Amino acid sequence: MAQPVTAILSRQSELADKAWQVTRDMNEANLLVGKVMSRALDQFSDGAAEIDVAQEMRRELDRLIAQLRVPAHH
């Protein structure tokens, strides 16, 4: 499992920078990145290619950011 874990951990700073640029709130950015990291660690197995891991993590972060921009309906 070392390969996917290494790929996931190596993307953390990139994702944190992007999340912070959007949210301008370090706590919220860290929460988003934590969710992405957790899902990636749960999802990817030893056979996952690093590029696939990176692309999926970026898509997941984009999806979470898009959810932030949509007002909640109560």
Q: What pLDDT digit, counting tens, does each position of 11-28 carry?
A: 999 999 999 999 999 999
Kindly give the parts of the chain with pLDDT less than 70.
1-2, 46, 71-74
Instruction: Tell me what pLDDT residue 4 has.
Output: 78
Distance from C-alpha of 2 to C-alpha of 47, rounded to nearest angstrom: 10
Instruction: Tell me what pLDDT residue 50 has.
Output: 81
Instruction: Tell me what pLDDT residue 72 has.
Output: 58
Instruction: Tell me what pLDDT residue 2 has.
Output: 58
Q: Domain spans of the chain?
A: 2-69
Distances (CA, A) of 30 to 14, 49, 73: 12, 25, 25
Packing angle, helices 26-43 and 50-69, rounded to 10:
140
pTM, two decimals, is 0.82
